[in-house]
């Protein structure tokens, strides 16, 4: 069977969204949530994807990118 190779390039994945911000993080307040806070990865680098594990910090440092998680907050 053919083997697949995953290539992760050390380059920014956000070319033009809100580049004046140090880190693009968005929060949504939701009433019907089991946990008080859940962070969803938007940098595609998390080992616990789709949850954020903080890997965006290393990615941002290595590439000059400014990606950050989507936060769901329980009201």
Q: How many residues does the chain have?
A: 75
Of 54 and 74, which CB lies nearer to ligand FES in the complex structure? 54
Q: Does 52 bind ligand FES (CB under 6 A)?
A: yes
**Which residue is catalytic, options 23, 35, 58, 73?**
23
Of 54 and 64, which CB lies nearer to ligand FES in the complex structure? 54
Which residue(s) pair with 40 in the sheet?
51, 70
The residue among 54, 65, 55, 48 whose CA lies nearest residue 13 is: 65
DSSP 23: S
Structural contact between residues 65 and 10, judged by C-beta atoms closer than 8 angstroms: no
Q: Does 56 bind ligand FES (CB under 6 A)?
A: yes
Residues assigned a catalytic role: 23
Q: Which residues bind to ligand FES, rule: CB under 6 A?
A: 41-43, 45-46, 52-56, 67-69
């Amino acid at each position: 069977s053919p083997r697949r190779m995953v290539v992760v390039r050390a380059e920014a994945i956000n070319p033009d969204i809100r580049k004046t911000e140090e880190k693009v993080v968005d929060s949504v307040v939701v009433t019907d949530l089991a946990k008080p806070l859940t962070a969803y990865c938007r940098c595609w680098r998390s080992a616990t994807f789709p949850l954020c594990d903080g890997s965006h910090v290393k990615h941002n440092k290595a590439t000059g990118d400014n990606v950050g998680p989507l936060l769901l907050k329980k009201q």
